[in-house]
Structure formats: C-alpha cells, structure tokens
Amino acid sequence: MSTALHPFWRYASPPQFLQLSGTLLPLLWAVAALLGLSGLALGLFWAPTDAQQGEAYRILFLHVPAAWIAMVCYGAMALWALLGLSLGTHLSFVLMRALAPTGALFAFLTLWTGALWGRPTWGVWWVWDARLSSALLLFLLYLGFIGLTAAVDRPQDPRRGDRAGALLALVGVLNLPVLYFSVQWWSTLHQGASLSPAGSRMAPSMLVPLLLCTAGLWAYAAAAVLSRARLLLAERQAVQARWRAAA
Amino acid sequence: MATALHAASALARRDLRAALRQPGELLAPLGFALVVVALFPLGLAPDAALLRQLAPGLLWVVALLASLLALPRLFAADLADGTLEQWLLAPQPRALLVLAKLAVHWLLTGLPLVLLAPLLGLLLGLEQVGALALSLLLGTPLLSLLGALGAVLTLQARAGTGLLALLLLPLEVPVLVFGSAAAQPGSGAAPWYLLAALLAAGLALTPWACAAALSLTLD
C-alpha cells in the first residue's frame, strides 16, 4: 500500500520551495520586463489605429491580460486553500495569501483601465452592466479575503488566519458561478443599453502585442506572488525564532 | 440520532429563552429598518411614483443591512462562556447544532422583518406588499445562513461590523438580485424558483461550512 509521492510534492517543503523559487525568480522578472516592455512598445507605437475606436483601444493591451489574471488568481487561491486544508501543508496557505494582493491589484487594474477606455469610447466612466459589475464584485471579494486574514491573525501564530482565509476562499469560489450567473441574469432583466465593443476579429498586428503583454504580465504576476511568498515565509520563520528565544 | 435531536431542541429552547430576556436587542434591527426606510423619501424626493418603483430594491437592501446588525453577537456570548468549546467536545453533529441555533436566530431577527416588510412597503407606496413579504420569507433564512458563516469567520477578528459587511455583502448579491426581482410587481416565476433553489442549496451546505469553520477557527 505504499504510495510513492510524485517528485513534485517535495516542493511543499519550504527549503525546497525557496531553492526552486530562487532560481525561477530572476528568470521570471527578466521575462516580465522583456515581454511586457516589448509588448507595450509594439502595442502603443507599432500596432495600427483601430478603425472604430481610434487610439483608445490600445488600453486593451493592459486591460485584457489584467482581467484574465484577476480571474485566474482567485481560482488559484481557492486551489491552494483546498490543498492547505486537506493536506495541512504550510506552504499552500502561504501561496494562497501571496496570491491575494496580486489578484486584487489586477482586479483594480481591470476596473481602472476599463474606465479609462469607457470614457472616450462610451462617453461614461462606468456603466452598470454585467461585466463591470462582476469585475467590481471580484475586486470586493479579494478585499474581503485580505481584510479577514489580516484581522484574524495573531502576531505569534498565522494559522488561524490561514484557516479562516482558506474557508472564505473556498466559499467564495463556490459562490462565484452563482454570482456571475445572477449578475448576468440581472443585466438581461433590466435590458440596459448594450454597450459591448463590436465583435471584430483582431488583426495579427494587434494580436502579437496582446500576446506579448499577456505573457509579460503573467510572468510579472508569478514573480510577484513568488517573491511575496518568500517574504511571508521569512517573516513567519523570524517570528517563530523570536518566540522561541523569548520562551 | 434521537439524542442529537434532543440536544438540538434543548439548545434552541435555551437560545430562545436567553434572547427573550433581552427583548431590546431583538427590536434594534427593526428600528434600524424603519429609520432607514424613513430616510429614503427625505433623501430622494417625496415623489410617490419614484418611491413605488424603487421600493422593492430599497427594501431588500435594507433587509441585507439589517441582517448584519445582529450577527456579531450570534456566537460571541457562546465563545466567551465556553459553550463553543463544549460543542467541539460534544458527540452531537455540529451542523445540526448550528442549524438549531440559526433557526432560533432567524425566528427572532428574520421573521420579524418579514412581518414588518408589508408596513415598510406601504410607507413607500408599494401596492403588492404580499410578494415583497413572501420574497423576504424565502430570502431572510439565506441571509441568516450566510451571515452565520461570516459571524464564525470573524468571531475572533480584531475588526468591527465593517469587515463583516465587506465579507458578506458580495456573497449575498445573488440573494439580493433574485429576491428584489421576485418582489417586483409583475415578475415571472423565474426569480422565485431561483431564490428557492438558492435557499435549498444554502440549507444543505452552509450548516456544514459553519461547523467546519467553527472547528477550524477554535483552537
């Protein structure tokens, strides 16, 4: 009945994780800088002006990847929460917490760039349609998670905040489809002005910068999350050492 | 099973007796709802047509906010006097105890709001107050269930009701959407079914989540 662990699992041990993330981080930061900057340069200067939306469309090179990352980060947070609660692995909770600020940042960027695009295109900063409302709710879910984990933590012991946060992330991810559905249903019920951008196929000269920006921002998100996780680990070790010395 | 039911009913009777000894606390959410409803015409305009149109949504938002008021105290006394630790030691299924406690909580905070709702509706000029009360009858148990989860998670938090609101209100958006749509005059059957489905799912799942949260956060 011996179940051999997949080699991947050894990265659940903090020293192994520190070693792996230490070698990955410079690579990720380099990829983020290189692809992000080249994607932005191509997107802002090389890609042609859109026939319908003019120059304002160029914000999509940030907006679209930010929206993807904001959504995926919440799912990843819930996945680490599940792993942490079921396996009791310390590192899972650390990664879960490290994801939250990055997810919140990208959710905010989604809203902000959306508003900057909406003003010249639709003439308003904000409309209450299904997409915008659900992006706002996603941002609020992140804020609730960060607020809860920060308020529940005890200085010498982060475990209570870990567990409360993990449970909230799981409840949130179960609720998310219901939330999205209810907001969709609500917006069809009220028949708001349909202000969706015309569904046009994207020219390759626009697609290339978008893909570069997406890859660059993903690398940035991964690098930020790993760096934050390393800091959280170091902080926890320092606190433990201090309490042991005081005891 | 018989002993578990016996324990749950004993818990419910105890909670009911303890709450009825301090009736002032029960009235606070109702007073809050009444005051807020009185503020809307003063803040907007005494325009009967406008208020009638907004009434179902406004009253549902008021119900959501009023449901937050009683939550911080839901488990606080039980934590302070060690009752919750006895829960962890007791052999009875914790989800059942949570359900018994929540039934009493809804009876004392949700049901009075349902009964007051027609009156509040009339204040805003709503004619079909029956639909409003019925939608709240389906929706307020859900607010109690989700609220209990938030109350357990924030039980030991160094934060006030603000955190609870930030945590809970986004999760309660589906209840608000379907509930206020059902309360609209001339709504079809769809929001009623969706609200009832949410209630069924909430009744089945949240007591377990609350029980898990209790054992995870009490150490």
- Per domain, the residue ranges of chain A are 16-46+56-189+204-246
Least confident of A161-170, A196-205, B120-129, B164-173: A196-205
Q: Which two tokens stand for residue B105?
A: 């909580």
Confidence of residue A193 (pLDDT cuts 50, 70, 90): very low
Q: Say if residue A138 is exposed, middle or buried (CB neighbours under 10 Å; 0-12, 13-18, 19+).
A: buried
The mean predicted confidence, pLDDT, of chain B is: 89
Least confident of B46-50, B135-139, B175-179, B203-207: B46-50
Half-sphere exposure of A131 (CA within 13 A, CB side): 14
Position A237 scores a pLDDT of 87
Position A229 scores a pLDDT of 94
Q: Which two tokens stand for residue B118?
A: 């027609």
Task: Decide if pLDDT at A145 tops 90.
Answer: yes
Q: Say if residue A52 is exposed, middle or buried (CB neighbours under 10 Å; 0-12, 13-18, 19+).
A: exposed
Position A156 scores a pLDDT of 76
Confidence of residue A241 (pLDDT cuts 50, 70, 90): confident
Each residue's pLDDT tens digit, B96-113: 999 999 999 999 999 999
Position A198 scores a pLDDT of 47
Confidence of residue A201 (pLDDT cuts 50, 70, 90): low
Q: Which residues of A touch B163 (CB under 8 A)?
A: 144, 147-148, 151
Q: What is the CA radius of gyration of chain B?
A: 18
Position A3 scores a pLDDT of 62
Question: If you average pLDDT over each of A29-33, A56-60, A126-130, A237-241, which comes out highest?
Answer: A29-33
Are B171 and A171 a contacting pair at CB < 8 A?
yes
Confidence of residue A191 (pLDDT cuts 50, 70, 90): low
pTM of the model: 0.89
* Out of B153, B154, B177, closest to residue A186 by CB: B177
Q: Which residue has the tokens 């349902």?
A: B114
Interface test with A, best of B53, B142, B164, B173 (most A CBs within 10 A): B173
Q: Are B167 and A144 in contact (CB under 8 A)?
A: yes
What gap in Å lies between CA B25 and CA A225, rounded to an integer? 45
pLDDT average, residue stretch A167-173:
93
Confidence of residue B140 (pLDDT cuts 50, 70, 90): very high
Q: Are B131 and B185 in contact (CB under 8 A)?
A: yes
Specify the DSSP class assigned to residue B22.
-
pLDDT average, residue stretch A171-177:
91
| B 54-113 → A contacts, CB under 8 A | none
H or E element at residue B152: helix B129-153
Our CA-based measurement puts residue A132 at a distance from the nearest CA of chain B, in whole angstroms, of 14
Task: Decide if pLDDT at B144 tops 80.
Answer: yes
- Tell me the percentage of chain A whose pLDDT exceeds 90: 40
Are A163 and B217 a contacting pair at CB < 8 A?
yes
What gap in Å lies between CA B180 and CA B62, rounded to an integer? 11
Are A144 and B166 a contacting pair at CB < 8 A?
yes
- The phi, psi pair for A50, rounded to 5°, reads -75, 140
Task: Decide if pLDDT at A194 tops 50.
Answer: no
Are A151 and B212 a contacting pair at CB < 8 A?
no
Bridge partners of A50, per DSSP, are A54
What gap in Å lies between CA B15 and CA B1, rounded to an integer? 21
What gap in Å lies between CA A184 and CA A178, rounded to an integer? 10
Report helix, strand or coil for A243. helix
Task: Decide if pLDDT at A130 tops 50.
Answer: yes
pLDDT average, residue stretch A92-117:
93
- Between B84 and B141, residue with greater pLDDT: B141
Task: Give the ipTM of the model, two decimals please.
Answer: 0.88
- Tell me the percentage of chain B whose pLDDT exceeds 90: 53
Q: Which residue has the tokens 């003439």?
A: A123
Position A84 scores a pLDDT of 92
Confidence of residue A4 (pLDDT cuts 50, 70, 90): low
Our CA-based measurement puts residue A116 at a distance from the nearest CA of chain B, in whole angstroms, of 25
Q: Which two tokens stand for residue A117?
A: 């695009």
Half-sphere exposure of B56 (CA within 13 A, CB side): 23
Report helix, strand or coil for B172. coil
Helices A90-122, A130-152: axis angle to 10 degrees equals 150
